[in-house]
Amino acid sequence: MRHFLDIDAIDASELKNILKMAHDMKNARIGMPKGAHDNGAPLAGHILAMIFEKSSTRTRVSFDVGMRQLGGSAVLLETSTSQLGRGETIADTARVLSRMVDAIMLRANSHKSLVELARWASVPVINGLTDKSHPCQIMADLMTVEEAGLNLKDARLAWVGDGNNVLTSFIEASAVFGFSLVAACPIGYQPDNKIVNKAIAKGAKIEVLTDAALAVTGADCVVTDTWVSMGDTNVSERMQALSPYQVDEELMAKANNGAIFMHCLPAHRNEEVTDAVIDGASSKVFDEAENRIHAQKAVLRWCLEK
């Protein structure tokens, strides 16, 4: 079964093929209407169940549009309007949906729920985000880095802010794609040492610092994310700890000439990033958002062996 749960759970050659397929499909659509099927409609007749425990804009729309472009369709399930929200077990849900659809995407509060769903499902399961990782986002991000003309093997990426689930997937990806990664996070908000050390043992070039300016110096790409995610309750504590990590024009100026800025969105403008940066010439955030469609289409085709 081809599940797409975490970057480090998939063979490097397969991940590189997925990334190449994403580029190829996006390039093939140049000049096509947005709603048109991709040539051959490779997922014609296929149905994706999308389960949301957390609200979403980009994940929901990109998977739905991606399925439509591939000739398939998607069914939306939210915990507030399904039996998952009324006590049905994940195992039972997995077995029922496996009789009805061809693949399942879960955007979950807990990574354990994703693993449990994959354990009981007899169709591919895709990680649409959990508290641990966000692999689909990273595939879109790496696609964006390459579109900007950077060679991943030679690129230096700087992460600034909270050591969250998106950073975890970047750490895992660094061991596969060869880019160096420097993360600047305050004490108490740094990534899990076990995840970092596991990636380093696989050959990743990773540093974890507390100095944002030092991390950004010489970077080809600067990445950040919101300081307060859905479910976080220690809001004032987070804001205080992370306020020195705002990405502004002064910080971006320390990166290499022509460096790009990325953010998976939604952004809290003038908190983790200023308007001047996110709307500036270096920003690739809207390319990044669009690329979710194409990266996830490649993931879907890989999972369904199409």
Instruction: Spell out the residues 6+ positions from residue 120 whose beta carbon is closer than 8 angstroms to its own.
Output: 90, 91, 94, 95, 98
The alpha carbon torsion through 107, 112, 114, 119 (nearest 10 deg) reads -170
Over residues 154-163, mean pLDDT: 97
**Cα angle 289, 106, 303; round to 5:** 80
State the burial class of residue 281 (Cβ atoms within 10 Å of its Cβ: 0-12, 13-18, 19+): exposed
Over residues 141-161, mean pLDDT: 98
Rounded to whole angstroms, how far apart are CA atoms 132 and 149? 30
Length of the chain: 306
Q: What is the pLDDT of residue 82?
A: 73
The closest alpha carbon to 247, from 231, 266, 268, belongs to 268
40 residue type, one letter: G
What is residue 243's three-state secondary structure?
helix
Q: What is the pLDDT of residues 39-89, one digit of tens each?
A: 899 999 999 999 999 889 999 999 999 999 999 999 999 877 677 767 889
Question: What pTM value is reported for the model?
Answer: 0.96
Average pLDDT, the chain: 96
Over residues 180-187, mean pLDDT: 98
Rounded to whole angstroms, how far apart are CA atoms 165 and 162? 9
Q: Euclidean distance between the first and final Cα of the chain, in Å? A: 14
Q: What is the pLDDT of residue 85?
A: 64
Residues taking part in catalysis: 107, 134, 137, 225, 264, 292
State the burial class of residue 12 (Cβ atoms within 10 Å of its Cβ: 0-12, 13-18, 19+): middle
Q: What is the pLDDT of residues 87-114, one digit of tens each?
A: 889 999 999 999 999 999 999 999 999 9
Q: What is the pLDDT of residues 241-276, one digit of tens each?
A: 999 999 999 999 999 999 999 999 999 999 999 999
